[in-house]
């Protein structure tokens, strides 16, 4: 009994993994290698059939200018989001952990609060705050937040607002786990609060920072909710603004499942490459290995 017990306990997870992860991935790869071939006039039964085309769909996805524009937009947007969101998360976590701050509890709750706001609702709130007729911000600042160039910043703001709290919590929890004696030792050696943050806390936080960065990269590459929700409020966001929006359009609007499958695999591959690339660079920097 003891020998079979762990397998028994893991059965639900393994079944779910197979049905909702392994099979769908396999099916996507399969679809990505097919294409509909129309013979004759394309009328009648049997004139349309699926044929195996190998890597043709991937080649088409990689050559697709519309998709490349989407990548460039997401690259700009994502860099902005990652730097600002994680920078603020780190700053707030360090401030919360420093001994001198007052009202820390209230601030922590307030900054974590947007985590409880769904992306659709967050985009909706900010979307209305960007509209001239309703916004207290527009009363002070005369900026068109939904213009062709500003819209990227406005969208990045929504993502930063929604994500900073969770990342702050991850970093703050890590900081709280550090024995306080370590800081006392540094203080006795004459280190200032700022030096302690820079020389003691940030190095200890590095693994947590790497973890949050990788998760944020994966999430940012798949940006979909914010631009899709903002679209009804502005005409500066196209239906293929981000790569994932193009996948959605291919699959469900134009009905080209094969392109959609190929593109989604390209998105997955790029996010894997970026995540592992980031890990590699960081490891080389941190440990000085070649």
Partner 1 sequence: MTTVSHRRPRGGGALAGLAPTALLLIGAIYCLFPVLWVLIAATKSPAELFSTSTLAFGTGFFDNVADLFAYRDGVFWLWAGNTLIYAGGGALLSTAVSAVSGYALAKYRFPGRNLIFNLLIGGILVPAVVLAIPQYLLFSKIGLADSYWAVLLPQILHPYSIYLARIYAAAAIPDSLLEAGRIDGAGEWRLMSRVAMPLMVPGMVTIFLFQFVAIWNNFLLPFIMLGDDGKFPLTVGLFTLLQSGANQPSLYNLILTGAFLSLVPLIALFLTMQRYWRTDLSSGAVK
Of 128-187, binders to partner 1 (CB under 8 A) are: 128-129, 133-136, 139, 161, 164-165, 169-170, 173-174, 177, 180, 184, 187
- What Rg do the C-alpha atoms of the chain give, in angstroms? 24
Does 258 contact partner 1 by CB under 8 A?
A: no
DSSP for 239-280? TTSSHHHHHHIIIIIS--HHHHHHHHHHHHHHHHHHHHHHHH
Packing angle between helix 202-221 and helix 257-287, nearest 10 degrees? 170
Q: Which of 60, 84, 112, 238 contacts partner 1 by CB under 8 A?
A: 112
Q: How far is the CB of 56 from partner 1 (least distance, A)?
A: 19
User: Which residue's CB is nearer to partner 1, number 39 or number 49?
Assistant: 49
User: Which residue's CB is nearer to partner 1, number 45 or number 180?
Assistant: 180
Q: How far is the CB of 38 from partner 1 (least distance, A)?
A: 21
Does 110 contact partner 1 by CB under 8 A?
A: yes
Q: Which of 60, 143, 178, 257 contacts partner 1 by CB under 8 A?
A: 257
Stretch that binds partner 1, among 75-83, 145-153, 199-207, 220-228 (CB under 8 A): 220-228
User: Which residue's CB is nearer to partner 1, number 39 or number 184?
Assistant: 184
39: region left, alpha or beta (phi > 0 left; psi from -120 to 50 alpha): beta
Site string for partner 1, 32-61 (x = CB under 8 A): ------------------------------
Alpha carbon distance 214, 78 (integer Å): 12
DSSP 141: -
Q: How many residues bind partner 1 (CB under 8 A)?
A: 98
Alpha carbon distance 153, 220 (integer Å): 14
DSSP 17: H
Alpha carbon distance 207, 212 (integer Å): 9
User: Which residue's CB is nearer to partner 1, number 33 or number 251?
Assistant: 251
User: Which residue's CB is nearer to partner 1, number 40 or number 96?
Assistant: 96
CA 174 from centroid of its chain's CA atoms = 21
């Amino acid at each position: 009994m003891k020998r079979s017990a762990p397998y028994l306990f893991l059965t639900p997870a393994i079944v779910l993994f197979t049905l909702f992860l392994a099979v769908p991935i396999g099916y996507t790869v399969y679809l990505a290698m097919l294409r509909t071939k129309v013979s004759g006039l394309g009328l009648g039964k049997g004139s349309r059939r699926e044929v195996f085309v190998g890597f043709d769909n991937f080649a088409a996805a990689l050559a697709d200018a519309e998709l490349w524009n989407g990548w460039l937009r997401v690259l700009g947007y994502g860099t902005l989001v990652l730097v600002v969101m994680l920078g603020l998360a780190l700053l707030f976590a360090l401030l919360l952990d420093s001994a001198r701050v007052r009202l820390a509890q209230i601030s922590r709750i307030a900054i974590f609060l947007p985590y409880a706001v769904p992306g659709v609702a967050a985009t909706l709130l900010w979307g209305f705050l960007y509209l001239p007729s309703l916004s207290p911000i527009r009363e002070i600042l005369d900026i068109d937040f939904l213009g062709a160039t500003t819209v990227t910043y406005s969208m990045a703001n929504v993502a930063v607002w929604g994500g900073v709290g969770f990342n702050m919590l991850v970093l703050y929890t890590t900081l709280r786990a550090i024995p306080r004696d370590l800081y006392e030792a540094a203080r006795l050696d004459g280190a200032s609060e700022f030096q302690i943050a820079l020389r003691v806390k940030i190095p200890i936080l590095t693994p947590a920072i790497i973890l949050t960065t990788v998760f944020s990269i994966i999430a940012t590459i798949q940006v979909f909710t914010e631009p899709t929700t903002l679209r009804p409020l502005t005409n500066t966001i196209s239906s293929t603004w981000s790569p994932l929006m193009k996948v959605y359009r291919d699959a469900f609007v134009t009905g080209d499942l094969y392109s959609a499958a190929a593109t989604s695999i390209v998105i997955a591959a790029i996010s894997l490459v970026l995540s592992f690339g980031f890990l590699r660079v960081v490891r080389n920097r941190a440990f000085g290995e070649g």
